[in-house]
Structure 1
Amino acid sequence: MNPPPLFRAEALAFRRQRLQGEIILTHDFPMLLIGAVLLGGVALALWGFFTLGFARQETVSGHTVPAGGLADVAAAGAGVVTEARVREGQQVGEGDVLLVVSGERHTAQGNTQAVVQGALAQRQASLNEELRQGQVQLKQRQQALDARIAELNRQVAQLDADIALQAQRAALAEESAATFDRLAATQFVSAMMARDRGAEALDQRSRLGALKREKASLQAQVQPLRDEQQEAASRQAREAQALQRELAQLAQQGAEAEALRQWFVRAPRAGRVSALVAQTGQAVAPGQVLARLLPADSAMEAELWLPGRALGLAKPGATVKLRYEAFPHEKYGSFDGQVRELAATPLPAGEAQRVAGAPAGTPLYRVRVALAQQAVTVQGLPVALPAGMLLTATLALEQRKLYQWAFQPLSALTGRPL
């Protein structure tokens, strides 16, 4: 049996009879479009947040240099350029004369270098004469000693003959004395005659001994004379060496004086003359750069000065955007490059201030960048990049995603890279 309804049948019938009819929801097209756009924007933002990023950049200054290096030609001393044998852009070989420089000075006495050369020449002549006189004196002394030694040797030879003769006399006297001793023993001759013969024999032996002593005395005089010859030769050799050294010094001084009077500025290597600043009649100072040599067929590179704060992220192969001051980037744009070489040590403080104008205490590191283009197109024609052109470069040091940048504080706290 069904339970009775909660409401009366009349009430239920009245509820079914609505004047506005059944409710139906309608769709608004603009609202749908706005919703779709918002949803797409959120999706795009999420995609960019996790895929897009930015690069940390460092902008530095520099200039163009040849890849093979730039050779400076400097003056060796003060003087005046008397002749320029090359012109700007000329190709030269190693050792070719580029300039002729004169260092002559004039005083009240005339040309200073000529006076110096004259004094040096007089001193050299005096020393040469002194050296010649010393050799002549040594020769004369040696000849005198040789003559003395020869005379002594002649006397010794004469004494040898006298000694041989005296030895025979002494032998005969001794034999005669012995004969008379035997005859005196038989009383055939008197004892006085025997003693006379013995005294004569003693006298002959005494004379023989005197001759031998004289010979020894003459022989003893020969060795000191030979020693004197050797000492004279050694003394003359030392004096000659001292004179030769002084002559060598004078020759060096003469060469230096001649070099100061006039010298040639030569090319240290083959290349093309660039930045020739010396002209005929121009005064130059020691160490002044007179010209520069570009290596033949050498490509240009960019030389940059990177501060130490950016060195840790810079690496070979990094992309570089270059803007040349001679070619405004608003019109010619920027040019591509790639880091080829990074210096391992910074420049000295004084050198950093000189080449890059960096504040004192700022470490700068040399960076070499290979250029993608060796020329700039100007009005349809290629213009080769010269050496020394100033430029500004932007280095891409680090590429990071947006989410990495947003969550960097969290990564620093956890110590885990994103």
Structure 2
Amino acid sequence: MSNICQNTLNTASPDVRQAAPPEYQSAVNDTFFRKEVAQAHSDQWMGTIRLAQPMSVRIVAGFAMVIALCVLAYIFFGTVTRKARVTGMTLPAGGSLTISAMNPGILTRSFVTEGQAVIAGQPLFEVATERQGSSGEISMLVAQQLTIQKNTLASERRTRVAQHRDKASAIDERLVNVNAETLELDQEIALAQRRLDLAKSSLVKYETLQGSGFVSAAQTQQKQEELIDLGARMSTLTRAKLQLQATKLNLAAERTASVGELDNTMSQLQRSEAIVDKDIAENHSRRTSLILAPQAGVVATITYRSGQAVAAAQSLAVLIPQASSKQNMEPLEVQLYAPSRMMGFVATGQTVLIRYQAYPYQKFGLHRGRIVDISKAPFAPNDLPPHLASTILSNALQSMPGVNSNEALFRIKVQLSRQSIDVYGVAQPLPAGMTLDADIVQDRRRIWEWIAAPLLAATQR
């Protein structure tokens, strides 16, 4: 009964607890305990005070403890990754070739289509560069004059060849006559030599007979005179032979000189014809010019159609070089362009997380790559590839705050882990020229290390 009364007093107000019944107080006062004990019993005559603890308080405390442990575990085991966000696009690993117009004009013919494989030297486009004057199309008039010049040179060539042929024929005839005269003269000389020998023998006989007294001195002298006449005749014939030999040498030299003169004339005519042919080719190029494929590959993009006007150095198409006979196109790589303030911790071998703009990463996920090359110097906007400069700069301005259109950008080459992307369960090859955003993973640390980094840095100073 006393316990029930004490519990009732515990839940009562303080005024009720202080006011104890007089009977109880008198009973306490009559005991043999000290006054302090009696006073304490008089203050707690209805029991001790106990605070109520509902079950909800315990549940909340338990949840708070679990959350605190989770936060501590996250701080201790969780990591913080430092990333650099840049933009870029997919391009062939071997690069791409820009097919440009050499002269301004009108694109008259296109011999290829997008996706077509071509070989080196194959015609791709034909550009007309005709100019009109008061008398008609200028290049046509120039072509007519150049044709007349070429015909004149050809006629002169034929004339000079005919002249040389006639002259050589005349020289050959004179050489034949000289050879015949030389042969006859040799015969006369042989006869004269025989007569001279006979005259010498006869003179010897006459001298012998004169010594014997059979002939007179006058007869012997006559024989001597005959011998002298024959010697003079022999000298005349010998001199004539020498003259014929000199004539023969002169004719041979004249023939050789004629051949040299013809060769010189032909060389001059060939140079003149070459100049005219060059002028004809240049004039033809002013009318139409063929643009050929510099090497084998696949035509990826054609930017102009037949009938459109093109400027000098204007890009007409993009050619992706052929990698091998078993592979139509080069494997793709990603080229990222970043300003200098993002290049402090970028290095080869770092992982790159790629988000293709054509495939939202929320649905198709992130794609991995690895940095394989970093340019040693930045590219000015004018140094960027002409057919990619506008795309690169616009993506950089949109995705990287603070970048201006005149800022130089470093090129980062990334090797892709896959050349395709899974689209609804189907592996679809990545096309060249796809724009993308990428995060370069530069550093990974524990959260507690990141929180304590300022303190650790301060202690190391």
Normalization by structure 2: what TM-score?
Answer: 0.70
Larger gyration radius, structure 1 or structure 2: 2
Q: How far apart in 2 are the matches of 1:264 and 1:334?
A: 46
Aligned residue among 332, 335, 351 for 1:303: 335
Aligned match of 1:5: none
Pairing of 1:94-109 with structure 2 (within 5 A): 94=118, 99-109=125-135
- 1:345 alignment partner, one of 376, 379, 390: 376
| Deviation at residue 108 of structure 1 after TM alignment | 0.9
The answer to whether residue 68 in structure 2 is matched with residue 41 in structure 1 is: yes
Where do 1:318-337 residues align within 5 Å? Answer: 318-322=351-355, 324=357, 335-337=366-368
Provide the rounded CA distance (Å) in 2 between the counterparts of 1:412 and 1:92.
Answer: 64
Q: Distance in 1 between matches of 2:458 and 2:240?
A: 115
Matched, 1:230 2:256: yes
2:7 corresponds in structure 1 to none
Q: For each residue in 1:184-210, what CA deviation from the matched residue of structure 2 results, as whole angstroms up to 9, or x when unmatched?
A: 212222222212211221221221122
Contact 1:273 1:292 in 2 (8 A): yes
Aligned residue number for residue 240 of structure 1: 266
Q: What amino acid sits opposite 1:310 in the alignment? A: M
Q: Does 1:176 align with 2:202?
A: yes
SS at structure 1 position matched to 2:280? helix
CA separation of 1:413 and 1:245: change in aligned 2, threshold 3 A: farther
**Aligned residue type for 1:259:** S
**Secondary structure at 1:239 match in 2:** helix
Match of 1:370 in 2: 416
Instruction: Select which of 139, 143, 163 maps to 2:189.
Output: 163
Quick check: 2:374–2:410 contact (8 Å CA) kept in 1? no
TM-superposed deviation, 1:288 = 0.8
Q: In structure 2, what is the equivalent of residue 388 of structure 1?
A: 433
State the one-letter code of the partner of 1:341.
V
- Closer/same/farther in 2, CA of residues 365 and 373 from structure 1, 3 Å limit: closer
The residue type equivalent to 2:243 in the other structure is: S
Aligned partner of 1:62 in structure 2 is: 88
**CA distance in 1: counterparts of 2:385 and 2:299, whole angstroms:** 29
Aligned identity (percent) is 24
Are 1:313 and 1:398, in contact at CA under 8 Å, matched by a contact in 2?
A: no
- Return closer, same or farther for 1:236/1:334 CA change in 2, 3 Å cut-off: same
Q: How many angstroms does 1:240 deviate by?
A: 1.0
- Counterpart for residue 243 of structure 2: 217
**Counterpart AA for 1:318:** T
Contact 1:353 1:360 in 2 (8 A): no
One-letter identity of the residue aligned with 1:72: T
Amino acid at match of 1:111: E
Q: Which amino acid aligns with 2:416?
A: A
Instruction: Check conservation: 2:350, 2:440, Cα contact below 8 A.
Output: no
What is the deviation of 1:214?
1.7
**Whole-Å Cα distance in 2 between the matches of residues 202 and 368 of structure 1?**
113
Structure 2 CA distance for partners of 1:128 and 1:366, relative to 1, 3 Å: farther
Structure 2 residue runs without a partner (length 5+): 1-32, 322-327, 394-403
Distance (Å, rounded) in 1 between the aligned partners of 2:110 and 2:230: 99
Q: Contact 2:88 / 2:335 at 8 angstroms: preserved in 1?
A: yes
Name whichever of 188-197 and 302-311 sits farther off.
Answer: 302-311
Alignment of 1:114-133 (within 5 A): 114-133=140-159
Structure 1 CA distance for aligned equivalents of residues 422 and 59 of structure 2 = 54
* TM-score, length-scaled by structure 1: 0.77
Shift in CA distance, 32/262, structure 1 to aligned 2, threshold 3 Å: closer
The separation in 2 between residues aligned to 1:263 and 1:391, in whole angstroms, is: 38
Cα drift, residue 285 of structure 1:
1.4
Shift of 1:49: 4.6
- Letter paired with 1:281: G
Distance 1:303 1:75 in 2: 26
Deviations 1:3-38 (A, max 9, x none): xxxxxxxxxx979x79579x9x99989699869956
